[in-house]
Amino acid sequence: MRENRYSRQTLFSPIGDSGQSLLGKKHVLIIGAGALGSSTAEMLVRSGIGRITIIDRDYVERSNLQRQQLYTERDAKNRIPKAIAAEKRLREINGDCEITGIVGEATVELLEDIIEEIDLIIDASDNMEIRMIINDLSIKHGVPWIYGACVGSSGMTFTILPEITPCLHCLLQVMPMNGMSCDTAGIISPAVQLVVAHQVTEALKILIQDKNSLRGTFYSFDLWNNTSQNIKVSRAKRTDCRTCGKERSYPFLQKENQTKTAILCGRDTVQIRPSFKKELNFTYLAESLVKRGYKVTQNPFLLNVQLKDNRFVLFKDGRALVHQTKDVVHAKNLYDQLMG
In angstroms, rounded to a whole number, what is the distance separating the alpha carbons of residues 204 and 218?
18
| Residue type for position 181 | S
In angstroms, rounded to a whole number, what is the distance separating the alpha carbons of residues 302 and 282?
8
In angstroms, rounded to a whole number, what is the distance separating the alpha carbons of residues 339 and 314?
10
In angstroms, rounded to a whole number, what is the distance separating the alpha carbons of residues 149 and 221?
11
Catalytic residue among 97, 150, 167, 182: 182
Task: Give the domain ranges of the chain.
Answer: 7-253, 259-339
pLDDT value of position 1: 38
Say if residues 204 and 23 touch (Cβ distance below 8 Å): yes
Say if residues 251 and 257 touch (Cβ distance below 8 Å): yes
Helix ranges (H only) for 251-315 are 282-291
**CATH: 3.40.50.1100, 3.30.70.330, 1.10.357.10, 3.40.50.720. Which one for 7-253?**
3.40.50.720
Residue 261's closest CA among 183, 335, 181? 335
pLDDT value of position 264: 62
Helices 35-47 + 82-93 axis angle, to 10: 20
Superfamily of domain 259-339: TATA-Binding Protein (3.30.310.10)
7-253 and 259-339: identical CATH topology: no
In angstroms, rounded to a whole number, what is the distance separating the alpha carbons of residues 136 and 123?
13
Divide the 340 residues of the chain into consecutive groups of 10 and give the mean pLDDT of each group.
82 97 98 96 98 90 91 90 94 97 88 96 88 96 96 94 95 67 75 97 98 95 96 93 94 77 71 74 87 86 86 84 89 84
Would residue 182 show up in a list of annotated catalytic residues for this protein?
A: yes
